[in-house]
Amino acid sequence: MTNAAPTADAIAIYQNALDVLSDALITNDFETFADYLHLPHRIVTEEFTAKIQTRTEVQTQFQGFTAALRGLGVDGYTRTARGAEFTSPTQIRGTHACYLTDHGKLVVPEFPGSMVLDLRDGRWGSIQVQHHMRYVAWPEITSVAGQRV
């Protein structure tokens, strides 16, 4: 039974990060979004992996993703934790379901995602996110520093 509390804590921490990051994307709140990332940060999609190394690159990625969401008519981005676990005292790996909506109706089918959180200087932040979907274009992200890792 000793593993129950850490797993529950991992899920709560993971869900909080999902909520804050998703809300920041929908409300176009770059500062909050950037505060929940640790650099370098990896973005993994079905087509590529990008390594984001600077705050300027985070802003480019943020602007590209929010523009893609707006282009789809998305006004809600909900991510629900499906599982999360501590892989070390300072790292959590989790999986989640993603829902992009417009006035409560799905814009695209539900799709899975995953994220890795690191604890640095007493603060949890995402170091990697993986999107398992093809519904959102990533033109800004793929051009960040011309880098695909």
User: How much is the pTM?
Assistant: 0.85
42-74 pLDDT per residue, tens: 998 877 888 999 999 999 989 988 998 898 899
126-139 pLDDT per residue, tens: 999 998 876 554 44
Question: pLDDT value at position 49?
Answer: 85
| Share of residues in the chain with pLDDT > 90 (%) | 68
Taking the C-alpha atoms of residue 130 and residue 136, their distance in angstroms, rounded to an integer, is: 13
Complete DSSP assignment for 56-78 = HHHHHHHHHHHHHHHHTT--EEE
Burial of 109 (0-12, 13-18, 19+ CB in 10 A): exposed
Question: pLDDT value at position 7?
Answer: 66
Which spans in the chain are helix H? 4-26, 30-35, 55-71, 139-142
Band of residue 3 on the pLDDT scale cut at 50, 70, 90: very low
Q: Which residue has the tokens 């990697």?
A: 128
